Amino acid sequence: MRIAHITDIHVTEIPRFSQIWGKRLWGSFDLFVRGRAKKFSRVVQEELVRGVAQVEPDVLVVTGDLTSQSLPQEFEAFRSIYEPLFERQETVILPGNHDTYTRPTAGGVRADRYLQPWIGDGAYPRLRVIGDVAFVSICCSRPGLYARGLCPEDQLGRLDALLESGELEGKTVLILMHYATRKWDGTPFDTYTQCLANANAVEAVLSTHVGNIDAILHGHLHHGYRTELKTSAGVIPILNPGTSGYAWSPSSNRTAHFNVMELNGRDFSVERFFFDGDLGCFRAEEGGAYTTGR
């Protein structure tokens, strides 16, 4: 099975005056006054559709931050751009902290409304089985002053029970989450304003089932990398392609990326694609995934 993984696209629309309240006061200032919106490109976001379609995946995984401020018009723009891509193959979507930006969007309720059928429904973790692969989505995103996530205890309990059950027996199991628990060097990601507050508790549950989990796919940190969750019972590979919606910026050594995993039973290989602004398209990293260091 071939699986494409995109994340952190950040489709951005200018909010109406009536929508600029609470956290969006700072968010809008950061995006449109301080210039953060310029780090992302609608041209690249649209080219991402063609880039992913060209690799012909069997499944597409999207691990959150589809929007910048979870505005209805951002979800509408996101769906308008990506629906043709999502309809080409099986697609699994998970919301990120920017998709649960304010209290009315907490728990991914707005994402659920705009992104059916790909996001699924019911309590997290959400399970989607496609062929011999089980995609287990964990939602730890929440509104708040900071981009700091938390995985509720009841969700952790359900995750533990699911991984313990026979429902996943014989399946390749991929854990999908927005937040990183580990940095690129394998050390805990613990930056207070951006981290997963109870990452230790999440890792404790995953570590208990290390033999049943084949990889963790996530986003949130815009710099792509591959690392591992190391436990006494073994390791779980962790893969983050890096943001898929970045503008091309050679001076900052920054551009958009997505991953393609080729599964062969429980073994897999990874190819990483980047947006080449000189050619105006996505192409594979020469020398293998993550060799560019971006």
Distance from C-alpha of 73 to C-alpha of 66, rounded to nearest angstrom: 12
Nearest of 20, 191, 29 to residue 102 by alpha carbon = 20
Cβ count near 210 (within 10 Å): 16
Q: Which residue ranges make up each domain of the chain?
A: 2-284
pLDDT the model gives residue 214: 97
pLDDT the model gives residue 147: 95
Residue 89, burial from CB neighbour count under 10 angstroms (0-12, 13-18, 19+): middle
pLDDT band at 181 (very low <50, low <70, confident <90, very high): very high
Model confidence pLDDT, tens digit, residues 225-282: 999 999 988 999 999 999 999 999 999 999 999 999 999 988 999 999 999 999 999 9
**pLDDT greater than 90 at residue 292:** no
Per the CB < 8 A criterion, the answer to whether 70 and 102 are in contact is yes
pLDDT band at 293 (very low <50, low <70, confident <90, very high): confident
Q: Structure pTM?
A: 0.97
pLDDT the model gives residue 167: 93
Model confidence pLDDT, tens digit, residues 246-257: 999 999 999 999
Tell me the one-letter amino acid at 88.
R
Model confidence pLDDT, tens digit, residues 113-128: 999 999 999 999 999 9
Pair of tokens at residue 255: 């551009």
pLDDT the model gives residue 266: 85
Per the CB < 8 A criterion, the answer to whether 220 and 97 are in contact is yes
Per the CB < 8 A criterion, the answer to whether 245 and 222 are in contact is no
Q: Considering the domain 2-284 in this protein, what is its CATH number?
A: 3.60.21.10
Per the CB < 8 A criterion, the answer to whether 202 and 124 are in contact is no
% of the chain beyond a pLDDT of 70? 100
Cβ count near 56 (within 10 Å): 11
Cβ count near 125 (within 10 Å): 23
**Arithmetic mean of pLDDT, 19-31:** 94
Phi, psi dihedrals of residue 258, rounded to the nearest 5°: -150, 160
pLDDT the model gives residue 265: 84
Model confidence pLDDT, tens digit, residues 183-204: 999 999 999 999 999 999 999 9
Position of tokens 């990601």?
Answer: 189
Contacts of 47 (CB under 8 A, 6+ apart): 275, 280, 281, 282
Nearest of 140, 162, 285, 142 to residue 226 by alpha carbon = 285
What's the angle, vertex CA 235, arms to CA 233 and CA 237, rounded to 5? 160
Please give the radius of gyration of the chain, using alpha carbons only, rounded to the nearest integer.
Answer: 18
